[in-house]
Structure 1
Amino acid sequence: MYKFVILCSIFVAASNADVAQTLTKRETKASLKPLSVCCDIPELADEFQLAKCSPRPPGPCEDVQCIFEVSGFLTDRNTLNKAAYRSHLQKWEKNHPGWTDSIYKAITDCVDNDPRQHLEVPCKAYDVFTCTGIAMLKKCPDTAWKC
């Protein structure tokens, strides 16, 4: 019986040390990574849209601009097709449970308003997409939070 108690004590101590070590690594490691890496936001475009714009055009605007044009999210280079983008986000949300608050925030902040992200060159697609990412990050579900 004495040996059994000792073995159980060793097992419990080893288990607790392993859990404590894992928690310590995750909780104490400092980082200056952008918060955007902390929320694991699934891909917002579908495979067709991505394939049409691959290989990725260079520059901060051209890649997002291509996907927005292929997707019908723009009525012209500088005008968001609000109905199309809103519909896309709502469809995406139905396929990604837990993201309802994020999508609502993205629609409120980025579709219902006219966001400007102040890229050196005006780029409506970049403005809206960056706004969407920020809105989703602000309402990132706990299940997608990695930091």
Structure 2
Amino acid sequence: MYKFVILCSIFIAASHADVVQTPTKRETRASLKPLSVCCDIPELADERQLSKCSPKPPGPCEDVQCIFEASGFLTDKNTLNKAAYRSHLQKWEKSNPGWTDAIYKAITDCVDNDPRQHLDVACKAYDVFTCTGIAMLKKCPETAWKC
């Protein structure tokens, strides 16, 4: 009888316990995370340029400025080398299938126009890079969406 009571107690406890569920690809719980964390955009820079600018310089502009200068994306600190940046984005898209719409939007919004992201410090590299990230987020492929 004692074993029966223990067995019943275990059954009742188990039936009232929270069931641990494995999270699915998309979290169903609401969140106020910035949308930028929801799109898994692959690294845009080449490893050579990243290594030239590491360790990361301090400040809101210096790291992006360093990478843009090392990559030849600027003709001077305030002028985007549109041909070089457009070519880089097109080459990147060929290595990252599924991102065609995002790259087209980035070129249209950020290369063909003169974006300004309103950082307190004037920084062309930051303006263009932030614009590129926003454009790619807006056209994030379903396969890269993780929220």
Aligned-partner SS, 2:27: helix
Q: 1:100 to 1:58 in 2, by over 3 A?
A: same
How far residue 37 of structure 1 moved from its aligned partner, in angstroms, is 0.2
Q: TM-score, normalising length from structure 2?
A: 0.83
In the alignment of these two chains, the number of paired residues is 127
Matched, 1:115 2:96: no
Q: In the alignment, what sits opposite 1:48?
A: 48
Aligned-partner SS, 1:75: strand
Take 1:60 and 1:143, find their aligned partners in 2: how far apart are those partners?
A: 30
Take 2:100 and 2:58, find their aligned partners in 1: how far apart are those partners?
A: 32
Q: In the alignment, what sits opposite 2:27?
A: 26
Take 1:57 and 1:94, find their aligned partners in 2: how far apart are those partners?
A: 30
Runs of 4+ aligned residues of structure 1 deviating over 4 Å after TM superposition are 20-23
Amino acid paired to 1:32: L
Larger Rg: 2
Take 2:23 and 2:114, find their aligned partners in 1: how far apart are those partners?
A: 44
Deviations 1:9-54 (A, max 9, x none): xxxxxxxxx9x8745x821x12111000000000000110000000
Q: Percent identity?
A: 84
What RMSD in Å do the two structures reach over aligned CA positions? Answer: 1.5
Q: TM-score, normalising length from structure 1?
A: 0.83
Q: In the alignment, what sits opposite 1:128?
A: 128
Take 2:88 and 2:22, find their aligned partners in 1: how far apart are those partners?
A: 43
Unaligned runs of 5+ in 1: 1-17
How far residue 121 of structure 1 moved from its aligned partner, in angstroms, is 0.7
Matched, 1:137 2:134: no
Q: In the alignment, what sits opposite 1:77?
A: 77
Matched, 1:87 2:111: no
Unaligned runs of 5+ in 2: 1-18
Matches within 5 A, 1:7-22: 22=23
Amino acid paired to 2:30: A
